[in-house]
């Protein structure tokens, strides 16, 4: 099908009128799904009008040429009568698009790939859209200056998605509220490995190229999807009485330093399960690159990413995210403290249980002298970051953890552990907002008054007057 220029309103009208009178959509008179989900911090992220249920991504990448070819087979359900819908894709060249096997028209403007199916899609219809694309993927610079998207490494590349990097390597509904299952198949030159989320379902070698097929059966937000391509040592082990599969991929340069912390995975997983409840996924593990390849760790689902060997506390942080962030995912980017406050509080609990300072000591230290450690600590409340550049800033992490500690002080230890386990259980594999959290806490402890915690610690400007 021909490529069309970015849609002008007149053109849109023509298509709608045409399909309405030919009855192509079986009497459906749909409208476009809409670009963006009006996220308060990333308004263009995601798209309206449909929900993705599954992504089947078939990728081939050669680090020598930096050329990626991809086929994204996306299964989605129309949430309304659709004449057109958007996918987010940044850079790359789209070769063709089909919907339900029929050629579809498409146009591109910025990060929006607008698809106009031959037949309109009635509300409730499950449909399949296939996008074939290729090119040299972009590294995206975040609002806060960090690098995401397709990150080039010494011997390969990394797909890193938080918050909006995944659109650099596959088209999709790139907002945390639309979770889906995944099959990610990557072909690379023989000698390299390709690691991704979930379990390795298949691995083949042919004509000097190696193909790795990874399967994720639990819902995953697209910012947690990852692919690592490089000269990794890729290994499978198991952990726990239930012999949960563990996949680790380690750059040989980091292997010696990573070995002692990776050896603690069984102990860390046991501790996390004891504290937070059943592990939500079918495998665990880690992806360890070289220190110079990225500047941050990321809680990519089942396979947290580390730039170089992590220290134990970072390891605990990213694995704690599997419960808080990956299984229970924020509804919007404003709810980021539900990720980072919990993962930071997990660090405090770990220290408390392993001979370090207690969470109460850590809380008091931050309250008294926090500005020496983080000069921006009191700049904004965790529940309302100032802008997109602030969603990964210290107040979200540290003040977010302080909110949880205030709740613990209020309800006591036993009720607190029940509460955080119950939160993971209540929204397992789903999405939740800060409003959901407040309502949940108040429902669980109806006799307590949390109003000052919400007004001063979660939403209050500046340092609260009382610890």
Residue (48 or 304) nearer to ligand TRP, CB: 304
Residue 402 touching Zn ion (CB under 5 A): no
The dihedral sign for the CA sequence 56, 117, 222, 432:
negative
Least Cβ distance, residue 374 to ligand TRP (angstroms): 13
The single residue among 120, 218, 340, 436 that binds ligand TRP, judged by CB under 6 A, is 340
The single residue among 88, 119, 142, 347 that binds ligand TRP, judged by CB under 6 A, is 142
The contact pattern for ligand TRP, residues 167-206, with x = CB under 6 A and - = no contact, is ----------------------------------------
| Cβ 317 vs Cβ 268: under 8 Å | no
Residue 296 touching ligand TRP (CB under 6 A): yes
Residue (119 or 318) nearer to ligand TRP, CB: 318
* Beta strand ranges found along 227-283 (DSSP E): 227-230, 233-239, 244-250
Of 368, 330, 369, 322, nearest to 346 (Cα)?
322
Cα 224 to Cα 243: distance, rounded to the nearest angstrom: 24
Residue (246 or 297) nearer to ligand TRP, CB: 297
The pair phi, psi for residue 319, each rounded to 5°, is -75, -35
| Cβ 270 vs Cβ 316: under 8 Å | no
Q: Indicate which of ligand TRP, Zn ion, none lies near residue 142 (CB less than 5 to 8 Å, by partner kind).
A: ligand TRP
Least Cβ distance, residue 98 to Zn ion (angstroms): 38
Distance of alpha carbon 467 from the chain centroid: 33
Scanning 123-131, 141-149, 195-203, 255-263 for contacts with ligand TRP by CB under 6 A, the matching segment is 141-149
| Cβ 289 vs Cβ 203: under 8 Å | no
Of 219, 172, 210, 156, nearest to 188 (Cα)?
210
Least Cβ distance, residue 287 to ligand TRP (angstroms): 13
Q: Indicate which of Zn ion, ligand TRP, none lies near residue 296 (CB less than 5 to 8 Å, by partner kind).
A: ligand TRP
Residue (164 or 186) nearer to Zn ion, CB: 164
Residue (269 or 343) nearer to Zn ion, CB: 343
The token pair that represents 36 in the structure block: 């963006």
207-226 residues near ligand TRP, rule: CB under 6 A: none
Cα 332 to Cα 335: distance, rounded to the nearest angstrom: 6
31-70 residues near ligand TRP, rule: CB under 6 A: none
Cα 150 to Cα 134: distance, rounded to the nearest angstrom: 13
Cα 377 to Cα 370: distance, rounded to the nearest angstrom: 7
Residue (161 or 198) nearer to ligand TRP, CB: 161
The token pair that represents 21 in the structure block: 């009178």
Cα 302 to Cα 319: distance, rounded to the nearest angstrom: 8
Q: What length is written for the chain?
A: 467
345-384 residues near ligand TRP, rule: CB under 6 A: none
Q: Report the C-alpha dihedral over residues 205, 206, 207, 210, rounded to 10 degrees.
A: -40
Residue (78 or 349) nearer to Zn ion, CB: 349
| Helix, strand or coil, per DSSP, at residue 443 | helix
Using DSSP bridges, classify how beta strands 430-432 and 209-220 pair: parallel, antiparallel or unpaired.
unpaired
The dihedral sign for the CA sequence 140, 134, 183, 86:
positive
Q: Indicate which of Zn ion, ligand TRP, none lies near residue 359 (CB less than 5 to 8 Å, by partner kind).
A: none
| Helix, strand or coil, per DSSP, at residue 265 | helix
Least Cβ distance, residue 223 to ligand TRP (angstroms): 9
How far CA 58 is from CA of 72, 149, 209, 227, in Å, comes to 6, 17, 14, 12
Least Cβ distance, residue 389 to ligand TRP (angstroms): 9
Residue (114 or 226) nearer to Zn ion, CB: 226
The single residue among 392, 394, 398, 431 that binds ligand TRP, judged by CB under 6 A, is 392
Least Cβ distance, residue 340 to Zn ion (angstroms): 5
Q: Report the C-alpha dihedral over residues 189, 141, 132, 100, rounded to 10 degrees.
A: 130
Least Cβ distance, residue 252 to ligand TRP (angstroms): 24
The single residue among 31, 53, 146, 410 that binds ligand TRP, judged by CB under 6 A, is 146
11 preceded by a cis bond (ω within 30 of 0) = no
333-352 residues near Zn ion, rule: CB under 5 A: 340, 343
How many residues lie near Zn ion (CB under 5 A)?
2
CA angle 285–90–119, rounded 5-degree value: 105
The single residue among 318, 335, 347, 456 that binds ligand TRP, judged by CB under 6 A, is 318
The contact pattern for ligand TRP, residues 254-293, with x = CB under 6 A and - = no contact, is ----------------------------------------
Q: Indicate which of ligand TRP, Zn ion, none lies near residue 144 (CB less than 5 to 8 Å, by partner kind).
A: ligand TRP
Contact residues for ligand TRP, defined by CB under 6 A: 142, 144, 146, 162, 296-299, 317-318, 340, 392
Which residues contact Zn ion (rule: CB under 5 A)? 340, 343
């Amino acid at each position: 099908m021909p490529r069309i220029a970015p849609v002008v309103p007149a053109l849109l009208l023509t298509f709608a009128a045409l399909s309405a009178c030919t009855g192509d959509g079986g009497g459906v008179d749909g409208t476009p799904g809409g670009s963006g989900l009006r996220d308060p911090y990333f308004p263009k992220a995601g798209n309206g009008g449909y929900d993705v249920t599954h992504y089947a991504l078939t990728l081939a990448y050669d680090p020598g040429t930096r050329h990626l070819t991809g086929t994204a087979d996306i299964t989605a359900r129309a949430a309304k009568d659709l004449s057109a819908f958007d996918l987010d894709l940044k850079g790359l060249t789209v070769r063709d698009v089909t919907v339900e096997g029929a050629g579809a028209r498409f146009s591109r403007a910025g990060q929006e790939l607008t698809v106009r199916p031959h037949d309109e899609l009635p509300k409730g219809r499950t449909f399949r859209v296939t996008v074939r694309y290729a090119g040299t993927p972009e590294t995206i610079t975040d609002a806060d200056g960090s690098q995401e998207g397709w990150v080039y490494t010494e011997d390969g590349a990394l797909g890193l998605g938080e918050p909006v990097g995944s659109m650099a390597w596959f088209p999709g509904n790139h907002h945390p509220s639309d979770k889906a299952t995944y099959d990610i198949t990557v072909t690379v030159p023989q000698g390299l490995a390709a690691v991704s989320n979930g379990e390795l379902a298949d691995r083949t070698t042919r004509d000097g190229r190696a193909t790795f097929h990874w399967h994720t059966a639990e819902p995953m937000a697209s910012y947690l999807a990852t692919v690592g391509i490089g000269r990794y040592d890729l290994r499978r082990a198991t952990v726990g009485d239930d012999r949960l599969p563990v996949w680790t991929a380690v750059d040989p340069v980091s292997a010696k330093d990573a070995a002692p912390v990776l050896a603690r995975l069984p102990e860390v997983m046991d501790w996390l399960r004891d504290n937070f409840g059943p592990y939500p996924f079918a495998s665990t593990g880690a992806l360890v690159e070289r220190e110079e390849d990225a500047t941050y760790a990321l809680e990519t689902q089942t396979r947290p990413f580390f730039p170089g060997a992590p220290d134990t506390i970072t390891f605990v942080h990213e694995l704690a995210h599997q419960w808080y962030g990956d299984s229970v995912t924020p509804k919007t980017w404003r709810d980021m403290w539900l990720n980072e406050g919990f993962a930071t509080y997990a660090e405090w609990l770990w220290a408390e249980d392993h001979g370090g300072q207690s969470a109460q000591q850590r809380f008091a230290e931050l309250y008294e002298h926090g500005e020496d450690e983080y000069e921006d600590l009191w700049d904004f409340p965790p529940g309302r970051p100032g802008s997109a550049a602030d969603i990964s800033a210290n107040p979200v992490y540290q003040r977010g953890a302080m909110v949880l500690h205030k709740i613990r002080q209020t309800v006591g230890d036993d009720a607190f552990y029940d509460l955080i386990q119950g939160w993971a259980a209540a929204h397992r594999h789903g999405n939740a907002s800060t409003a959901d959290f407040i309502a949940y806490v108040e429902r669980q402890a109806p006799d307590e008054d949390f109003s000052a915690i919400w007004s001063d610690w979660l939403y209050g400007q500046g340092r609260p007057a009382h610890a």
